[in-house]
Amino acid sequence: MTRSVYVTGIDRGDGRQVVDLGVMELLTRQVDRVGVFRPLVHDGPDRLFELLRARYRLSQDPATVYGLDYQEASALQAEQGTDELVSALVDRFHLVARDYDVVLVLGTDFAGTQLPDELSLNARL
């Protein structure tokens, strides 16, 4: 069974990315196969994942890192509810987790999202 570490914060600018880097540093010193999963993403390049990928020489395919984009997540939550959103994200996490000994999960970023109570969503995930 894959272990995971979920790192989130409470708002933008809370220093979470420094913690992400520190946790990845510790994990890569202890475990051979470390993966990354980000439940929700914005369109465009993910600078944090690219930094982690380059710094820790991750071979993970960038297409496997993400659960849903924020628009998809917002639509799914509006149409089917938070339970379905959580279920979809957990299913996608398990697709990544099966290939790694440990997965660093990068919580949501609270930046211009349409999700109500994003902190609560992070807690559930």
Reported as a single tens digit per residue, the pLDDT across 80-97 is: 998 999 999 999 999 999
Residues 123 and 8: their CA atoms lie apart, in Å, by: 9
Q: How far is CA 98 from the centre of its chain?
A: 15
The token duo for 21 is 């880097």
Q: Which amino acid makes up residue 33?
A: R
Q: What is the pTM of this model?
A: 0.87
Cα Dmax for the chain = 43
Percentage of the chain surpassing pLDDT 70?
Answer: 89
- How far out from the chain centre does Cα 85 lie? 14
| CATH numbers and ranges of domains, the chain | 3-124 (3.40.50.300)
55-71 pLDDT per residue, tens: 999 989 988 999 998 88
Residue 11 pLDDT exceeds 70 = no
H helix count then E strand count, the chain: 5, 4
113 pLDDT tier (thresholds 50, 70, 90): low
Q: Is the pLDDT of residue 9 over 70?
A: yes
Q: Which residues pair with 4 in a beta bridge?
A: 103
